[in-house]
Amino acid sequence: MAGLGGFSTPLGVAIGTRTVGDTPTGLTLKAERDMKAEGPAGTTAHPGPGLRVRLASAGEPLEGKGIVFSSHSDALCMKPTDGGGRVTCPMPNRRTVKACYTATFLGDRTYAPATATVCTKKGRGTTRSRQY
């Protein structure tokens, strides 16, 4: 017997409503071919391709806000922003194909949701993000 959406086990049920704030937020997303990251003892590590986000409101960074990274229908990771409103996520090494990535802040009681999408070009660097 098929359940919700053709699955035999329900994936989730939403009950009630969720209140989100109306303070505007800005989310910037960049895809980087060779993302630099803090390595051991202050060295710089090069973990490969990745996504970099900055979340702010009125130019001020937002700390501790969860960002969901996805590509098409695949969730890549979910991490909180740091004190500078920044967070990174490794991405699959897809240098030979065009791929699009989305970062989403779902909003909270104070701040409005924000989303940005960036697409990489086949065999090339990064492109600019679009905010929605």
Residues 21-35 have pLDDT tens digits of: 899 999 999 988 776
Confidence of residue 49 (pLDDT cuts 50, 70, 90): confident
Residue 19 lies in a domain: no
Q: What is the pLDDT of residue 32?
A: 83
Domain count, the chain: 1
pLDDT higher than threshold 80 for residue 77: yes
Q: Which of 57, 52, 33 has its CA nearest to residue 124?
A: 33
Q: What is the pLDDT of residue 42?
A: 55
Residue 8 lies in a domain: no
Which is higher by pLDDT, 53 or 96? Answer: 53
Residue 11 lies in a domain: no
Q: Which helix (H) or strand (E) holds 37?
A: strand 26-38
CATH code of residue 94:
2.60.40
CA distance 75 to 102: 10
Residue 38 lies in a domain: yes
Residue 86 lies in a domain: yes
Across the strands, what pairs with 35? 48
Q: What is the pLDDT of residue 47?
A: 66
The range of the structural domain enclosing residue 71 comes to: 25-122
Positive or negative CA dihedral for 105, 106, 111, 117? positive
Residue 80 lies in a domain: yes
Give how far the C-alpha of residue 38 lies from the chain's centroid of Cα atoms, to the nearest Å.
Answer: 19
Mean pLDDT over 48-68 rounds to 93
Q: Which of 132, 72, 74 has its CA nearest to residue 105?
A: 132
Work out the mean pLDDT of the chain and round it to a whole number.
Answer: 78
Cβ(51)–Cβ(37) under 8 Å? no
